[in-house]
Chain A
Amino acid sequence: MFELFTRLADWMTYSIMGLEKTTKLADAVHFFIEDTTKIFFLLALMIYIIGFARSYVSPEKVRLWLTGKSRLTGYVLAALLGAITPFCSCSSVPLFIAFLSAGIPLGVTMAFLITSPLVNEVAVVLLGNALGLKFTITYVGTGLVLGIVGGFVIDFFKLDKWVEPYVWQIKMPTPATAEEAEGWAWREKFARGEAIDIIKRVWIYVLIGVGLGAGLHGYVPREWFLEHAGADNIFAVPLAVLIGIPLYSNATGIIPVAEVLMNKGVPVGTILAFIMSIVAISLPELLILRKVLKPQMLLFFVGFLFVAFVGIGYLFNFIFGG
C-alpha cells in the first residue's frame, strides 16, 4: 500500500529534480520526500479515525471516572486514559489541582501526567511507520507500564509531602463543562478539527525531524553509529538518556531520526530509551509543574524516569538483541 509513496519519491527525485540515482544527495532527498508524504498521509488518517474515540473523552470526564476508584484500578485507568486524552501542556497545573481536589490520589494523577506525553496517536503513527508494529506495541506497552509503576511508587513512598501545601487547600467548584452537542455530525466535525489542529501544530517538527533523519541517512556512515552507539558500547544507553533529557521535542520530531538510527544498527533498547527520554522529560513542562510540586518531587520525578529509561534500554537490548 505504501509503494505509492516510494514511487512518488522516485518520480520527484529522479525525474523532476533529475538527481543521479546513486548519489548521497539523491538518497537523502528521496528519503525526505517518501517519508514526509507518507507521514502526513498516515497522520491525517489516524488522527481522524482516533478523533472519533477522543470525542468521547475529555479531562473533565476522566476526572469523574477516576474519582472514588480503588488505587489499583486508578493507576491502570489513569495510564490508559492518559494515552488517549488530549490536553495542552499549559493545562497541566489546573488539571493537576482539579484531580487532587476531587480526592484522586497523587500517584494516580501522576500516572496520567506521565503517560499522556509518552503515548499518543502521533507517536504511534510515526513509530509504526518508522520502526514497525512490534516496536510500536512494545513502546506503547512500556509507556503504560511506566505510568502505572510511576504512580504506584509515588504513593508507596507517600510523596504527598512534596506537593506545595497550598494545593491541598484549594476547593474547586464542580467543573463547568461547556454544553456540547452529541451525535455523529458533531463527532465527525470534532475528528476533522483535531486532524487539522494537530497537523497544523506538528508539521514543522515533522519536516525538521525527517530533514535531520535524511541528513543522517545520507551522510553519516553506519560505522560511526556502530562504534558510538552499538550494542558493544555498554554506556550507550545511559548516555542516550542523558542526552535526551535537555533535548526537548515532541515525539514528532525525534522519531524520523530514530528510524535512521535503527537502520544504522543502533540497538532497539537504546533507541527506545532515547525517544522516551526526549519526549517524557521536558524542562518547560517541569517549570510549569514547579508551581504545584516542590523541587524534591521534580528531582524524584526526573530521577525515577532516568532509572526507568536506562532499565528499559538494557532490558530491550537484551530481549531483542543477540
Chain B
Amino acid sequence: MEITVFGKGCSRCESTIHRIEREAVELGVPVTIHKITDEIEIIQNGIMTTPAVKIDGKIVHSGGIPSIEAVQSWLT
C-alpha cells in the first residue's frame, strides 16, 4: 500500500508517520510511506493544513495527527 504523508517535518508530522507505521505492523499490512515536505508541492496537492495523508490519489486526512481508528480504517 502506498501512503503519502505531507508536512514540513514538524513533530506532528513525525507522529503521524510513526502511527501509520505502527498500525501497519500491527495489522500486518505492508506499506510504503512517501514524505512530501516541500510546501509548494503540498499546496499543489490541494492541502492547506498539515500533516495530511493521501492514499490512492485521495486526501483522507488533513490538519493534525489522525486518530488510531482512522489509520486502521485506511489500512484495512
**Which chain B residues border A153 with CB–CB below 8 Å?**
none
Interface segment, A90-98, A259-267, A273-281? A90-98
Smallest Cβ distance from A93 to chain B, in angstroms? Answer: 4
Number of interface residues of A (CB under 8 A): 30
Interface segment, A28-36, A135-143, A172-180, A216-224? A172-180
Query: Does A21 interact with chain B (Cβ within 8 Å)?
Result: no
Given contacts A60-B49, A90-B10, contact A173 B44 (CB under 8 A): yes
A94 B42 Cβ-Cβ under 8 A = yes
Query: Does A285 interact with chain B (Cβ within 8 Å)?
Result: no
**Which chain A residues border B65 with CB–CB below 8 Å?**
197
Smallest Cβ distance from A174 to chain B, in angstroms? Answer: 6
Q: How far is B64's CA from A63's CA once the two chains are assembled, in angstroms?
A: 18
Q: Name the residue on A nearest B39 (C-beta).
A: A93
- Can you list, as one digit per residue, whether each of B24-51 has a CB less than 8 Å from chain A (1) or not (0)? 0000000000000001101111111110
B67 A193 Cβ-Cβ under 8 A = yes
Query: Does A87 interact with chain B (Cβ within 8 Å)?
Result: yes
**Which chain B residues border A97 with CB–CB below 8 Å?**
39-40, 43
Query: Does B8 interact with chain A (Cβ within 8 Å)?
Result: yes
Q: Name the residue on B nearest A193 (C-beta).
A: B67
- Can you list, as one digit per residue, whether each of A29-60 has a CB less than 8 Å from chain B (1) or not (0)? 00000000000000000000000000000111
Q: How far is B62's CA from A301's CA once the two chains are assembled, in angstroms?
A: 29
**Which chain A residues border B10 with CB–CB below 8 Å?**
88-90
Number of interface residues of B (CB under 8 A): 26
Given contacts A97-B39, A170-B40, contact A63 B59 (CB under 8 A): no
Given contacts A97-B39, A97-B43, A170-B43, contact A91 B60 (CB under 8 A): no
Smallest Cβ distance from A95 to chain B, in angstroms? Answer: 5
**Which chain A residues border B59 with CB–CB below 8 Å?**
176-178
**Which chain B residues border A288 with CB–CB below 8 Å?**
8
Given contacts A90-B7, A170-B43, A173-B44, contact A95 B49 (CB under 8 A): yes
When the two chains form the complex, which single residue of A101, A171, A173, A177 contacts B62, counting CB atoms closer than 8 Å? A177
**Which chain B residues border A95 with CB–CB below 8 Å?**
48-49
B63 A90 Cβ-Cβ under 8 A = no
A174 B67 Cβ-Cβ under 8 A = no
> Which of B58, B61, B63 is the most central at the interface, judged by chain A CB atoms within 10 Å of its CB?
B63
B48 A59 Cβ-Cβ under 8 A = yes
Smallest Cβ distance from B57 to chain A, in angstroms? Answer: 10
Q: Name the residue on B nearest A102 (C-beta).
A: B48
Query: Does B19 interact with chain A (Cβ within 8 Å)?
Result: no
B44 A178 Cβ-Cβ under 8 A = no
A94 B39 Cβ-Cβ under 8 A = yes
Given contacts A176-B62, A178-B59, contact A58 B44 (CB under 8 A): no
> Which of B8, B48, B61, B64 is the most central at the interface, judged by chain A CB atoms within 10 Å of its CB?
B48
A91 B44 Cβ-Cβ under 8 A = no
8 cross-chain pairs, A with B, having the tightest CB-CB distances, nearest first? A90-B10, A176-B59, A173-B46, A93-B39, A98-B48, A176-B46, A91-B49, A90-B8
Q: List 6 A-B contacts (CB under 8 A).
A: A94-B42, A94-B47, A171-B44, A172-B44, A178-B59, A178-B62
B residues with CB within 8 A of A: 7-10, 12-13, 39-40, 42-50, 58-65, 67
Known pairs A59-B49, A101-B43, A175-B47 / 15 extra A-B pairs, C-beta < 8 Å: A58-B49, A58-B63, A59-B48, A86-B64, A88-B50, A90-B10, A91-B63, A94-B39, A94-B49, A95-B49, A97-B40, A98-B43, A171-B44, A172-B43, A176-B47
